[in-house]
Amino acid sequence: MTRLRFIPIQLIRYPHTNEALFSIALWPVLFAIGCWRTPQIVQFLNAQGVEISTLQVFLAGFGAYLFLLGKHRVFNHRYFEHHAVDIAWYRQLHEVDQNMVAAGLAGTDTHRAVTNEMAQLRKQLGFLVDADNFYRKLKVLIRVMSWLRGKLK
């Protein structure tokens, strides 16, 4: 059973890289199901004299989604600005962590404190702390989804 005290924490945190990419990849599937199960949009447009099929509605929505995904970094820039201090602090902690491991201080109380702080920041900030990796994977996902859209045309 989910405890209620964790719900507010879940509402204010950012998704991790894999969670965000999974939800981004899942949206076209849910949109396809929605297009298939609700033909009212197609019926309305056909009644207005626009000859269109469910597949064309899906492809138009999917194309718009891919276009907007390409602008994801621009749309979310304000979150990076808002959390710039925390992101910089995480990067500094990451450097300290690497230096401590290289110096043979792994497993000490100080090292555990650094890793605990990093884990808390990573849990709160999600993909924001690893933005370069997230956007590299997102670019690959956009290419795959664009290829799939091209095959459906």
What would the pLDDT profile of 99-133 be if each residue is shown by its tens digit?
999 999 888 999 999 999 999 999 999 999 989 99
CA 144 from centroid of its chain's CA atoms = 16
Looking at residue 52, what is its pLDDT?
93
What would the pLDDT profile of 1-30 be if each residue is shown by its tens digit?
555 555 555 566 889 999 999 999 999 999
The domain segmentation of the chain, as residue ranges, is 15-152
Rounded to the nearest 5°, which phi and psi values hold at 108? -75, 165
> What DSSP assignment string belongs to the chain?
---GGGHHHHHHSPPPHHHHHHHHHHHHHHHHHHHHH-THHHHHHHHTT----HHHHHHHHHHHHHHHHHTHHHHTHHHHHHTHHHHHHHHHHHHHHHHHHHTT-TTSHHHHHHHHHHHHHHHHHGGGGGHHHHHHHHHHHHHHHHHHHHHH-
Looking at residue 139, what is its pLDDT?
96
What would the pLDDT profile of 105-114 be if each residue is shown by its tens digit?
888 999 999 9
CA 93 from centroid of its chain's CA atoms = 24
Angle ∠(93,132,145) on CA atoms, nearest 5:
145
pTM (two decimals): 0.80
* Confidence tier at 142 by pLDDT (50, 70, 90): very high
Q: What is the dihedral of CA 47, 51, 53, 59, to 10 degrees?
A: -120
